[in-house]
Structure 1
Amino acid sequence: MDERAQWDSSIAFIFAMVGAAVGLGNIWRFSYVVYSNGGGSFFIPYFTAIAIMGIPFLILEYGVGFTFKDSFSNIVRKIKPKFEIIAWMLVLFVFVVTIYYMVILSWDLVYLLSSFTFSWGTDAAAYFTQTVGGSSNLSNASFLLIPTTICVFLLWIVLWFIAHRNVDKGIGKVSKILIPALFVIMGIIVIYSLTLPGAEIGISTLLTPNWAMLLDVNIWLAAFAQIIFSLSMGQAIALTYASYLPENSKLIDNVLIVVASNSAFEIFTAFGVFSILGYMSATSGTPMVQLITEGTGLIFIVFPMIFNIMGPIGRILAPLLFLAILFAGITSALGFFEPMLNSTSAKLGWSRKKTATVLAIVGCAFSLILTTGISSYLVKIIDSFVNEFGILLLIGVQCIIFAWVYGAEHFLPALNEYSTFKVGRTWTFIIKYLLPVVLIVMWAIGIVTLFSTAKRFEIIIDLIIIVGVFVAAFAFTKIRAHGE
C-alpha cells in the first residue's frame, strides 16, 4: 500500500468529492422528490436537512479522515478494536453499491450507443425490458441481456484502469476532466430545455408550493433521505478522500464548496428535466402527471420517447444526456469503490494495483450476475435494502463511535486550524445528540416500510446480502493486519 498517497491540491480533492456526490440521484431522482413532496415548499425541509445534517456530518467525516490519515477500518479499530467488524460491514455495503451501480451505468452506456441511431425505436418501454434492463418476471432470470453484460464488463475495465493508479494520477486526474465536462454538458442541456415550448408548464408543475405538506413528517424524512443519498453521506467516501489531503487544508471551506456544488447541480438539473417534460406535455397533449416518474422510468423510457418527437435537436440532446449520466456515474462509482480498496489494501498490505485488480474481478463477477432478464428488478431490491437497512443504520452508528466513543471535540483543532469558517459547540451538539436521533428514527421507519411491502423473493435476496456482508466482515476482522 502507498502510505504517502496524497492529492496534489485541494482542487483535485474538491473535484473528486463533487464527483462522488454528483451522481445518478441528482439527475433522475431529485426533481421527482421535489415534485412529489410539496413542490417549491420542499426547499424549506431540503435546506434545513443540509444545514443540520449534510454539512455537519461531512465536516465530521473530513475531520476523522484528515486527523487519522488511515483507512476507514483501521481508524475504527484504533478507536475501539471491537468495532472493526462494523467498519468492514459499512465498506462491504458500499462495495455492494458499486456492484449494482455499475449495472445501472451499463444500461446508460447501452443507451448512449443507441442514441446515435435511436435504436430504441417507437416503444421505449419494450426496448428497456427486452434488451437492457429486463423485468420483474422471475422466469426471465434464465438468460442474459447481452448488451448490458458486455457494457458491464467494459465499464469494470474502465473503473479498474482509473482506480488502480495513485489517487492523484487516477481519481484526481479523471475527476478534473469529467466534472467540468459534466457541468458544461448539463448546462447546455438545461439552457436549451428552458427555451422549449411548454417549458414553463414543467417548471410551474415542479415549483408550485403546497404549504400544507410541510406539516407532514414524511416530507421532512424525504428531504433528509435525499441529502444522505445525494451527498453519499456516511459511506466512508468523504472520510477516505479526506485522508489523502495535505496538511494545510481548509476542511470546512471544502465541505461548503462540495455541498453548494452538489445542491446547485441537482436544482439546476431539475429545471432541465421538468422543462423537457413540459415540452412533451405541450407537444403530445399528455398530462404532466402521466409523464412524471423517477429513476429508470424517467431516463430510459420517458426521455427516449421525448427525444423521438424532438426532431434533429433530439439527435443532439440524447447523446449529451446519456454522456452526462455516464460521467456523473463513473466519478460516483470511483467514490463507492475507494473505501473497500483503501481498507483492503491497508489490512492485507497489498499494493493499490493488486487490491484494485482483485476487487474489480470480484465486483465484475457479481455485477454480471445482475445482467439477467430480471436485471432492473434485482438492482431495485438490492438498492432499497442496502441504503435503507445497511448504510442508514451504519451512518447512525458512526455518529456514536466518532462523536461519543472517540469524542467529536477532539476533531475541532484540525477542522478549525486553516478553515475560514469555524465550528464549535453547536456543531458538537448536532453530531452528538441531534443526528443520531434523526438517523435512528429514519432507519426504523424505513425498515418497517421495507419489510411490510417486501415479497418473499425480495426478502430472500435481502437475507443473502446481509449474511454475505456479515460473513465477509467477520473474516476481514479476524485476518491479522499487515505488519502486526
Structure 2
Amino acid sequence: MSEYAQWDSKWAFIFAMIGVAIGLGNIWRFSYVVYSNGGGAFFIPYFVAIAVMGIPFLILEYGIGFSFKRSFSEILKKINPKFEFIAWILIFSITIVLMYYMVIISWDMFYIGSSLTFGWGGDTALYFVKNVGGTENLSSFGEFFIPVAICVIISWAALWFISHKSIDKGIGLASKIMIPLVFIIMAAIVVYSLTLPGAFIGIDALIKPNWAGLLDINIWLTAFSQIIFSLGMGEALALTYASYLADNSQLTDNVLFIIASNSSFEIFTAFGVFSILGYMTATSGVPLTEIVSEGTGLIFVVFPKIFNLMGVAGRILAPLFFIAVYFAGMTSSFSFLEVEIGTISAKFNMSRKKTATILCIIGCAGSMIFTCGMSSYLVGIVDSFINQFAILLLVAIQCIIFGWYFGAEKLIPVLNEKSRIKVGSLWVNVIKYVLPVLIVIMWIIGIINLFMSSNSFEITVDVLIMVAVVAVSIIFYKIRTPTNS
C-alpha cells in the first residue's frame, strides 16, 4: 500500500517526476503551440505561467503528498469526509485519460514496426487513416484495427509488469532507464536536425515574434493551459509520487529542477521539430504553413513523410524517434496508473499486485473502445472534454480545498525545512487567490469554446462520460469497507 512505499533514492523520484512531465504533449503539442501563438513572443506568457501557476501548484502538490503520505482519496477524506467524492471524480477521470493515452502509445508502437520497413509508403495520411486513426464516419465505429488492439494489449502488459512491482523496483527503476534514453535519443535527433538544409527556415518560423499577440488574451490562456497539461497539474500525479519521498527531501528545490528539465526538453525538442519541418520545406518546396501540424498529424503523418525524404538518415532516425515517443508516453502512463493503484488499494485494503492486475485488465478492456474505426476522432473528443471540463475544474477545486479548508500556510515549515529555496505568504496568496480565479476563467472560456465547436454526437459523448464518471464516483464514495467505514 502507498503509505509504506518509498523511493530508493532521490534520483528515482526525480526521473519518475520528469517522466510525468515529459510525455506525448512535449513532443507533438508544444512546438505547434509556440508557432501558432506568437512565436518567440509566446515565451513571455509561457514563463509567466510557469512562475505564477506551474511552480506554486507543484509545490502545493509536493507539500500535501509529502505531509500526509497517503493516497489522494485518503488525504481529501482526512481533510473532510465529504471531499472523498471529489477524489473519486478525479480517479475515474484519469482512468479514462489512461485508457485513450495507452491507445495513442500503441499507435506509436505500431509505427515503430512500420518505421523498420517504411510501410507507410508515400501517402502517409492515408496510411494513418487506414491502419490506426480511422475516420469520423459513425458507421466506422463497428470496425476495429486488430494490429493496434494487439499493440494495446502488449502496452498494457508492459505497464502492468512495471507497475505491479514495488515503487523503487518498478516505476523507479524503469524511469531511471527510460528517461535518460529519451533525452539521449531526442538530443541526437535534434542535433542532427539542426544540420539539415533549410533548418533555419523552420527555426525562424518558430521563434519569429509576433509582439501584437501579447495583447491577445487567448495566447495567455494557451500558455497557462500548456503548463497545466504539460506538468499534469491537478491529476494528483505529483502528489502521489511525493508521498513516497524520504523525510530528508528538498521539496521546493526538486520542483524547480523538474520544471526546468521539462521546459528545457520541450523547448529543445521544438527546435528539432521545426528544423525538420524547415528541411521538408526546403526539399519539397511546400510552404511551411502547409506542413506544420500538431498532435497525431505531426507525429504520424508529417514526420513519416519527412523521413521518406531523408534517405539512409531517415531509416535510422525514424525508429529512434518513435522509440523515444513510446518511452516518453509510458513514463507518463506509470503516474496515471499509480494514482489509481494508491487509491484503490487503500480503499479496499488490497495488495499492490492485485490492485495493479485488476486495474490493468479493466483499463485494457476500456482501451479497446478506442481501437475502433473512428479511433482518432473518438480520442480527440474524449481528450478535449476531460482536459477542458474535468481536469481544469479539479485544479481549481484543489486550490480551494488545500488553500482554504486545509490551510496552505501549514505546509510552509514542511516545505522550508530541508529546502534551500523557501516559500512564504506570497506563495500562500497565489494558491488561495490567484490560481482559483485564473483557472475558473480558463475553465469557463474552455467550456464555452468546447460546446460551441462540438456537434450533437460530440456533445452526446461528453454527456455520457460526465454521467458515467459521476455515477461510478458516487458508488465508490458510498462503499464502506472495514478500514474505511
TM-score bracket, normalised by the shorter chain, equals: over 0.9
1:77-120 deviation per Cα after TM superposition (whole angstroms, max 9, x unaligned): 00011111011101211111110000000100000110000001
> Which residue pairs with 1:89 in the alignment?
89
Q: CA deviation at 1:475?
A: 1.2
Secondary structure of 1:301's aligned partner? helix
Secondary structure of 1:373's aligned partner? coil
Contact persistence 2:29–2:294 (CA under 8 A) = yes
Q: CA deviation at 1:139?
A: 1.2
Q: CA deviation at 1:223?
A: 0.2
Structure 2 CA distance, aligned partners of 1:465 and 1:361?
20
> Which residue pairs with 2:416 in the alignment?
416
> Which residue pairs with 1:145 in the alignment?
145
Structure 1 CA distance, aligned partners of 2:339 and 2:363?
14
Aligned alpha-carbon RMSD (Å)? 0.7
Secondary structure of 2:371's aligned partner? coil
- Map of 1:107-186 to 2, 5 A cutoff? 107-186=107-186
- Map of 1:274-313 to 2, 5 A cutoff? 274-313=274-313
> Which residue pairs with 2:5 in the alignment?
5
Contact persistence 2:3–2:244 (CA under 8 A) = no
Structure 1 CA distance, aligned partners of 2:142 and 2:229?
32
Secondary structure of 1:165's aligned partner? coil
- Map of 1:27-42 to 2, 5 A cutoff? 27-42=27-42
Structure 2 CA distance, aligned partners of 1:416 and 1:385?
37
1:425-468 deviation per Cα after TM superposition (whole angstroms, max 9, x unaligned): 11001000000000000000000000111111111111111111
Q: CA deviation at 1:141?
A: 1.0
> Which residue pairs with 2:361 in the alignment?
361
> Which residue pairs with 2:192 in the alignment?
192
1:268-311 deviation per Cα after TM superposition (whole angstroms, max 9, x unaligned): 00000000000000000000000111000001000111011110
- Answer with 267-276 or 79-88: which moved more: 79-88
| Structure 2 residue 333 is the aligned partner of structure 1 residue 333 | yes
Identity of aligned residues (%): 63
Structure 2 CA distance, aligned partners of 1:431 and 1:448?
25
Amino acid at match of 1:164: H
> Which residue pairs with 1:59 in the alignment?
59
Structure 1 CA distance, aligned partners of 2:455 and 2:340?
31
Structure 2: gaps spanning 5 or more residues: none
Contact persistence 2:31–2:273 (CA under 8 A) = yes
Contact persistence 2:281–2:288 (CA under 8 A) = yes
Structure 1 CA distance, aligned partners of 2:369 and 2:288?
36
User: How many pairs does the alignment contain?
Assistant: 484
Contact persistence 2:24–2:329 (CA under 8 A) = yes
TM-score when scaled to structure 2? Answer: 0.99
Structure 2 CA distance, aligned partners of 1:287 and 1:481?
62
Structure 1 CA distance, aligned partners of 2:247 and 2:59?
16
Contact persistence 2:393–2:440 (CA under 8 A) = yes
Structure 2 CA distance, aligned partners of 1:93 and 1:266?
26
Contact persistence 1:55–1:256 (CA under 8 A) = yes
Structure 1 CA distance, aligned partners of 2:236 and 2:416?
21
Structure 1 CA distance, aligned partners of 2:453 and 2:271?
33
Structure 2 CA distance, aligned partners of 1:180 and 1:423?
30
Q: CA deviation at 1:2?
A: 5.6
Secondary structure of 2:343's aligned partner? helix
| Structure 2 residue 260 is the aligned partner of structure 1 residue 251 | no
